[in-house]
Amino acid sequence: MKSHTNYLWFETKARRDLVNVTDEVEGTVRKSGVQEGLCLVSAMHITAAIWVNDNESGLWQDFWEWLEGLAPFKADYRHHRTGEDNGDAHLKRSLVHHQVVLPVTAGRLDLGPWEQVFYAEFDGQRRKRVVVKVIGE
């Protein structure tokens, strides 16, 4: 069995952002030498998520509006008694889910025709990590 671990670092300029990481994940798979296996992509900070969806800017705006409706930024989360103001970011991560497992087939990410992998940042402007771990052979 082979395994390979890579950490992607992010420091987004905006507080909320989507970053397409498909090429970086694909590069990690190539480097691993794994032909058949699984590739975990997981946000290590609890105010970010991984989202596999369409590379279409209109949809991204729909996604943000929808998230804001279901897990709104607001002042009165109990979590804010700790001095934080990012309660909404914890809930947005819970809604979207913070990770995906991608199949690796014939040495490549085995994605659907429109599947792209996004890092979803809900509380950015500081350095945060995503772990990419490939196992297989």
d(CA 68, CA 65): 5
Least distance (Å) between residue 118 CB and its own copies: 11
Draw the binding track, 2-41, toward its own copies (x: CB under 8 A; -: no contact): -x-x------------------------------xxx-x-
Give ∠ CA 103-97-46 in degrees, rounded to 5: 115
Site stretch for its own copies (CB under 8 A), options 10-18, 19-27, 55-63: 55-63
Q: Which is nearer to its own copies, 3 or 125 (CB)?
A: 3
**DSSP structure class, residue 58:** H
* Strand partners for 108: 105
Give ∠ CA 110-114-60 in degrees, rounded to 5: 125
Residue type (1 letter), 48:
A
Least distance (Å) between residue 128 CB and its own copies: 8
85 binds its own copies (CB under 8 A): no
CA atoms within 13 A on the CB side of 23: 3
In the complex, which residues of this chain contact its own copies (CB under 8 A)?
1, 3, 5, 36-38, 40, 42-46, 51-54, 56, 58-59, 61-63, 66, 70-71, 77-82, 87, 90-91, 93-103, 105, 110-115, 129, 131, 133, 135-137
